[in-house]
Amino acid sequence: MTGSGGSQHWAPGDHILWRYRGNGTGAVHICRPVTVVQDTPELLAVWMAPDTECVRPVLADGTPVHDEPLATRYTAPRTTERARWSGSGVLKLARPGEPWSVWLFWERGWRFRSWYVNLEEPRVRWSGGLDSEDHFLDISVYPDRSWLWRDEDEFAQAQRSGLMGPEQAARVRAAGERAVERIKSWGTPFADGWEDWRPDPGWRVPELPADWDRTPAHTAP
């Protein structure tokens, strides 16, 4: 990480951790090693390569979270496991202070599939990466400019399970509406041409460190 004061940035090719803390717990339950593509005061872009070893939440008996019925999905005991990212890689774009990140997905052969707006707490940086908290509600956006809400059922259940109070839920929904306005106007990052980007063939897949859940000293967003 280079720079000083509140303007520290990573260099292209650096390996960092993109992490999410559990809602209401503060403990890291999602950790994804990524490679920095670009890091400027306006935009952080990172690449999560296929077959990257990540950390993800599972039920206490190892069952995938989404196999649990919705009514108990957020109250059943959980743990974490290491697992490889399957499918194509993901390019993630994040602007400082915005309550979402935008992910780009491709099919095999680099046929662009969609953008995914992941509503989340504005990211906080630390020396080894950045931390956020997922807000359940998401938006898919397609090349023909159509879009749709994702995971509205999980967003509602998270509120019923006490993981998100009414005020926070209202802020998240308002953030989603702002994202929709950006989508309708085809504003950044949807018109930035990132769908034509390709990773450096010389990049190696970053490794998941043993201390992936360490508590860092956070810096500026």
Smallest CA-to-CA distance from 116 within 108, 104, 106, 98 is with: 104
Residue 44 lies in a domain: yes
Predicted TM-score (pTM) of this structure = 0.94
Q: Are strands 15-21 and 129-132 parallel, antiparallel or unpaired?
A: parallel
Residue 94 lies in a domain: yes
Q: Which amino acid is at 43?
A: L
Q: How confident is the model at residue 3 (pLDDT cuts 50, 70, 90)?
A: very low
Tally of domains within the chain: 1
pLDDT tens by residue, 77-123 = 999 999 999 889 999 999 999 999 999 999 999 999 999 999 999 99
Residue 6 lies in a domain: no
Residue 4 lies in a domain: no
pLDDT tens by residue, 156-165 = 999 999 999 9
Residue 128 lies in a domain: yes
Q: How confident is the model at residue 188 (pLDDT cuts 50, 70, 90)?
A: confident
Residue 148 lies in a domain: yes
Indicate which CATH number applies to the domain containing 74. Answer: 2.40.380.10
The helix/strand count (H/E) of the chain reads as 2, 12
For residue 35, CA distances in Å to 42, 133, 194, 209 come to: 18, 20, 16, 14
The residue segments making up the domain with residue 32 are 14-195
Residue 105 lies in a domain: yes
Cβ-based neighbour number of residue 204 at 10 Å: 9
DSSP characters for 186-208? Answer: T-TTTTS-GGG----TTPPPPPP
Residue 92 lies in a domain: yes
Q: Are strands 147-150 and 15-21 parallel, antiparallel or unpaired?
A: unpaired
